Amino acid sequence: MSRLNDLSDLGQSIWYDDIRRSFITSGELKALIEEGLRGVTSNPSIFEKAINGSSDYDEAIRGLVEMEKSVQEIYEGLVFDDIARAADLMRSVYESTQGADGYVSLEVSPTLAHDTKGTIAEARRLFKVLARPNVMIKVPATPAGIPAIEKLIASGININVTLIFNLDHYRSVAEAYLKGLERRLADHGDISKVASVASFFISRVDTAVDQVLTSLENKDLQGKIAIANAKIAYDTFKQIFSGSRWEKLTAGGAHVQRPLWASTGTKNPEYPDTLYVDQLIGPDTVNTLPPATLNAFREHGSVARTLTKKIEEAEAQLAQLENLGVDLKSITQKLQKEGLQAFAESFKTLMASIRHKQDLLLAKD
């Protein structure tokens, strides 16, 4: 048994937070699936790094340029191919888990983060073009994204809600999911085939909060707030997905919207490299790991149910942070804004790079 399968036995699925052409074609993804990997996530920064940071796509770009495709069409040709290939490899996981896992996520354009109608239209287009039941469309938990999530769930589209940093974000996301299911059920739609995860970002919270704590000369809470934040979110998840309202949906075949721990690579070298895996293990959750963190966990990670332990301690830590005058809500709102900006910049850089390669190839002709 691998550690990935050991985690599955505890109710947690490990997904891979990276994608690139050679990872798929070399057989590496297939091998990880056989070891127990249960999904793949992507974002604009991942694709920017994959396409600009390797020669994997040069031949494909050349072919698309020769077909006189536009920059947007070249971008989509590359990305759609990767997502489709990965989803096809993951299809066996999707089927063996009855749709619980085996998903590959693709994000809507970050330029639409504040455009509800644009997000809905784009998500529908992406889901239709990819035409695979185990694709999830990523939508950010912005004020414009929340109503889009409800509408898309009601339409039967799998959604990975991204850039969740605080409890207010999370509650809004969970409510949008429930309302979407209720609308679909009221319209006599099948809710048993609709899947969603709520991607709650972890390490970036510690990075930001630790900076403030350092300025306050407080070391006691450093490296603890992100995990405390996640534990309270998970406790909230258990409360939301229980009771009469939820029971009506489960009677129709609904699946819980699992919390997905994202940004779980350890950024502070003084912290254990599997900190945000070892401390966030619990039922009905997903942890999407970047390559280095996945490898570290496969080698020496700890497998034990930790997410439901020391909840009172987590509450006390958050209360202590507030007593120090540290506004976690303000910090996390800023983190979401910065995350959106980072994805937008990566998308802009990637499109500029494709345009440059297109110009070079056309000049040679």
| Residue 204 to residue 221: CA distance in whole angstroms | 15
Residue 272 CB-density burial (10 A; 0-12 exposed, 13-18 middle, 19+ buried): middle
Of 260, 359, 214, nearest in space to 13 by CA: 260
Torsion sign over Cα 162, 167, 169, 175: positive
| Residue 202 to residue 286: CA distance in whole angstroms | 13
Show which residues are catalytic. 138
CA 75 centroid distance within chain: 21
Q: Please give the C-alpha separations between residue 304 and each of 17, 93, 117, 277, in angstroms, as whole numbers.
A: 22, 23, 43, 10
Q: Which residues share a beta bridge with 139? A: 161
Strands (E), 141-236: 159-164, 196-201
